[in-house]
Amino acid sequence: MQGGSGLSGRREGADGRRWRALQQALIVATVYGLPVIFVLVPLLTFLVYSFFWVEGGAMHYSLSLQNYLRFFAGEAFFRVFWQTILLCLGVAAMATLVAYPVAYFLTGIKGRMKSTLVMLILVPLLMSYIIKIYALRSILGANGLLNQLLMGLGLIDTPSSFFVFNLNAVMLTQLALLIPFAVLPILLSLERIPRNLLEASTDLGAGGGQTFLWVILPMSLPGVVAAATFVFVLAIGDFLTPQMVGGQAGFTFGRIVYSQFGIAFNWPFGAALSVILMGVIVIAIVVGARYGSSRRGTA
Amino acid sequence: MPNEQCLLELRAVSKTFNGVPVLADVDLRVGDGEVITILGPSGSGKSTILRIIGGFTAPSRGRVILGGDDITEVPINQRPFNTVFQDYALFPHMTVAENVGYGLRVRGAARADMAQTVARSLRMVQLDGYGQRYPAQLSGGQRQRVALARAIICQPRLILLDEPLGALDVELRKQMQGFLKDIQREIKTTFLMVTHDQEEAIAMADRICVVSAGKVLQIGRPRDLYYRPGTEFVARFFGENNLLKGLLGAAGNHYRHVEAGWGPIRCAVDGQPEIAGAASGLAAYGAVRPEEVSLHPADARLDAELNRMEGRIEAVSFSGALTSVRVVHTGGACVLQVRLQSRAEGVPIQVGQSVVASWRAEACRVVLA
């Protein structure tokens, strides 16, 4: 048996080595090649496109900075851009605030009950985005659940339009859609806190509140930052939600980009706006990574 | 513990996890200021004893008494105990100084007092100037000392140490044993330490409590456990031991015999009334430590009081200060391990030589099988 394999090994020596090298090359090419073709090349195409320009409905394939100048000079674009950033920061902050207690509650539960609850949070992620937006729109609308509830409680007399076709609607909808993305990182970071650190804190005389404030909260901050980053990035790239619940008043940067491609047919300008949006996202991720990873490492 | 005042007492403490018994009727008295080691193999329930004392686990039955007060129901953060955890459980997001000062911060100590006390504690564990580092930047031994400083800073009545040296390498462990002992002498706080390492237990403890399968087998000074093991488990647990099988003979005044097939073994029974009064005919061992046996030429004339076994040297192995010799009884009925002081010119015996092994009855104890 041993001799046999040795013989065949020797016979196939050179061929085998060549075959293995080929395999290696194929794997490397796949691992690096697919992202290059499907991510990097389109992004670079976009970047190049953003320096082209359109005039009188005709594309000009010469490089120019005029798209970027138009963005920074035109006050309207910049205002929407800034407003959208604030909106998404707000969504990220609120989603994190809501998600933290949920995640904290989940860490305290064990066994089947916990997996069921986590599943319940995950299920909406598997559902179609558009269906969820429609569902939320019907809740927020003039005759929606929210208005009915507020009227039933006697807080308002007539249906309020506060919750639909404006930025409030965009914010509430995005909040509802993105909370699951905030719960998971926080849940993970809470669960990663070793139990014996909590025991050590109690052992040293700390009460529940002190242990939370001085041990649990600071140790779960990486998860909080990751959650906020996730939600911010997903919210700022979203043009569908504002399109469907934002109405005239709920204009966001994502919709401007969309309109450059879909309505104005000014692809180079749309590409330039996308590059700017991309810049914001990259900054958000870099900032998130810096503050999300503990500087001290883990013992 | 005889001379000291009792600080902590466990009364018939039992614990079952999901119906599986982990501890059965553990009684333990811890004296004020002593170092007591709970020693046992992994899974023996020794850590559970520590966790019950610390308040991390509630006993299923039994009481925990501190200075006369029942503290069984007192929550962890109100017990005047502090713990050095097995993997130190230092807070990774806090500096060494913040870790050490945590107990003071919890009690709302003033900032200036805190800094001073922390500095003093760090000096005590020889970590001067390490206050601003983070645990991840320390070596294992240094982390161990931070954990110790953090536990002693609030001057607890009792310090619980859960395998405190388990994660360190042999060299460092020896060093830390001495260090822990010095600190304990300095602050005079009671140490209750859990370990599975008998050498560590012997080196550290005033008294050792041997636990196996959830039961306390024996509590006593290291010497007593070593030379007067109460059970076969204890006899085998501490270092090498010769357990010579036989039947318990008739009761004598200060001695009893274990009748082995090849001859009687005379054993001292002072301080062991349960052995002195045991029924004759029981299966028992005569237990003698290898270093208590001496070897003589086959024709040597020996004191009649001594235990003796005629045999042949089967193996000699040199291991530094000591040389181990294996003697097999002439009839092959018994094997005796002997440890002799090594000499530069060599131990004057050879494999195959006929010898008489002898040992004093005082160095030989009965262990019931």
Q: Which DSSP category does A33 fall into?
A: H
Residues A116-135: pLDDT tens digits?
999 999 898 888 989 999 99
Residues B270 and B181 occupy one common structural domain = no
Q: Indicate the average pLDDT of chain B.
A: 91
- CA of A188 vs chain B CAs: smallest distance (Å): 17
B76 touches chain A (CB under 8 A): yes
A194 touches chain B (CB under 8 A): yes
Domain boundary among B232, B256, B288: B232
Mutate which: B77, B145, B146, B154, vs A, most A CBs within 10 A: B77
Residues B251 and B361 occupy one common structural domain = yes
Q: Is B18 helix (H, G, I), strand (E, B) or coil?
A: coil
Q: Indicate the average pLDDT of chain A.
A: 88
Of all residues in chain B, the one with the smallest CA distance to A206 is B106
Residues A216-238: pLDDT tens digits?
999 999 999 999 999 999 999 89
Which residues are CB-contacts of A127 (< 8 A; sequence separation ≥ 6)? none
Residues B245 and B197 occupy one common structural domain = no
In a domain, B107, yes or no: yes
Which residues are CB-contacts of B41 (< 8 A; sequence separation ≥ 6)? B196, B212
What ipTM, to 2 d.p.? 0.83
Residues B196 and B275 occupy one common structural domain = no
Which residues are CB-contacts of B25 (< 8 A; sequence separation ≥ 6)? B12, B13, B14, B62, B215
Residues B212 and B265 occupy one common structural domain = no
Nearest by CB to B91, which of A197, A205, A207? A197
Residues B96-118: pLDDT tens digits?
999 999 999 999 989 999 999 99
Residues B219 and B321 occupy one common structural domain = no
Residues of chain A neighbouring B78 (CB-CB closer than 8 A): 205
Residues B171 and B310 occupy one common structural domain = no
Provide, rounded to the nearest whole percent, the portion of chain B with pLDDT above 70: 99
B85 touches chain A (CB under 8 A): yes
Indicate the number of domains in chain B.
Answer: 2
Q: Are B260 and B354 in contact (CB under 8 A)?
A: no
Residue ranges making up the domain that contains B97: 6-232
Task: Assign residue B341 the CATH number of its domain.
Answer: 2.40.50.100
Q: Note the residue count of chain B.
A: 369
Over range B209-237, report the average pLDDT.
Answer: 92
Q: Is B120 helix (H, G, I), strand (E, B) or coil?
A: helix
Over range A8-33, report the average pLDDT.
Answer: 83
Residues B203 and B268 occupy one common structural domain = no
Residues B286 and B150 occupy one common structural domain = no
* A11 band by pLDDT with thresholds 50, 70 and 90: low
Residues B262-298: pLDDT tens digits?
889 999 988 888 888 888 899 999 999 999 999 998 8
| β-pairing verdict for B158-162 and B190-195 | parallel
In a domain, B1, yes or no: no
A219 touches chain B (CB under 8 A): yes
Mutate which: A192, A204, A221, vs B, most B CBs within 10 A: A204
- Structure tokens, A98: 């809501």
- Structure tokens, A201: 């804190």
Domain boundary among B185, B208, B232: B232
Residues B206 and B252 occupy one common structural domain = no
In a domain, B52, yes or no: yes
pLDDT > 70? residue A112: yes
Residues B218 and B248 occupy one common structural domain = no
Nearest by CB to B89, which of A194, A206, A219? A194
Q: Which long-range contacts (CB under 8 A, 24 or more apart) does B141-145 make?
A: B141/B168, B141/B172, B141/B175, B141/B176, B143/A299, B143/B88, B143/B90, B144/B84, B144/B88, B144/B168, B144/B176, B145/B179
A110 touches chain B (CB under 8 A): no
| Residue ranges with strand state E in B196-321 | 207-212, 215-220, 242-251, 255-260, 263-268, 283-288, 294-297, 307-319
pLDDT > 80? residue A299: no
pLDDT value of position A184: 94
To which residue do tokens 């909406």 refer? A124
Residues B264 and B298 occupy one common structural domain = yes
Over range B152-168, report the average pLDDT.
Answer: 91
Residues of chain B neighbouring A218 (CB-CB closer than 8 A): 93
Domain boundary among B232, B250, B273: B232
Show which of residues 236-295 on chain A sit within 8 Å of chain B, judged by CB atoms.
294
